[in-house]
Structure 1
Amino acid sequence: MYISVFIVTYFTWILLTGYNDISELIVGFFVSLIVASVLKKYYRIRFDSKFLVRFVKFVLVYLPVFIWEMIKANFDVAARVLNPKLPINPGFVKVKTNLKKEASKLTLANSITLTPGTLTLDVKDDTLFIHWIDVKTLDENEKKEKISGTFEKILKGVFE
């Protein structure tokens, strides 16, 4: 576990600072050792045989879908701002998720928050509490499909 945390931290250091100078790599090595020793009990990253497959699924399947949904939501919110006659019906909704792992729930909650028009306020067990700019339905299945359906299906394949 400690080695996984160190590798992720050091790789992040290299990506953020570059590797132009050997002194940066050495400093990053020691900083990563310290960070890994402090954070090792909180990280749950494991490099197993499925890690590469999951990573590829995330990058090639999930990210394009997320970016597309974000673009659509941006246009929707922009249209509502520019045309005040468009209806808005803000409210709070609860959406149940079938995701079990914490990482998948966290990614789902952040994806919903990063999509304009929705904001995840809290996650308790299998329920997400979301502020929605235009509550279109109160039906549980329809809410889930409109807010998190696309994300959840892909995330289940990536994380679980």
Structure 2
Amino acid sequence: MVKQQKFFLEWEKDINADGYIIKRYADENVEELVRIENIDITAVYIPNVYQNKEVHIKVCYFRKQKVKTNIYKECDYYCFLSGTSYIKYQFSTPKLVSIKQEKNNDVEIYWNKVAENISYLVIRKIEGKKWEKLGITKETNYIDKHTNSGNKYIYSVRCVSDDGNVRLSGFSLKGISL
């Protein structure tokens, strides 16, 4: 059985808010974890976090209007537990869709768009070796023109800043291969 752990999540205070609602998104389910009506509290522990499983948390900033709560801003966080380290990202891990090999041995991979105007870092590895950087693109596909027949390549993709220096999402450790 996989051990459950907690993740400590912090966000920025908004002096215009009356409070925050913290929600967890899992597949099609949305669970409200906590409602905070003290704007000075800007951190909570997120329960039931599992090793190597991405957790999507949304911090909803609200204002009270008589008996109604009006959410005016939402911030997404994607949390990942790897070993003993917690990693927090701005975007979800790109979902790898398909891969195909062309007649000239070029390999093209495809993934789902994560956000508008985001850059993707494409990486690959030979089975049993380390990941290596192939390139950065704003498209949702990439053609690897530097393959050798006989090698089994595994590909993955993550969101990054335009210069590639800031990691904005995780990546599939399993990857996709032919």
Q: TM-score, normalised by structure 1?
A: 0.26
Q: Which has the higher strand share?
A: 2
Q: Which has the higher helix share?
A: 1
Q: TM-score, normalised by structure 2?
A: 0.24
Q: Which one scores higher on RCO, CA 8 angstroms, separation ≥ 6?
A: 1
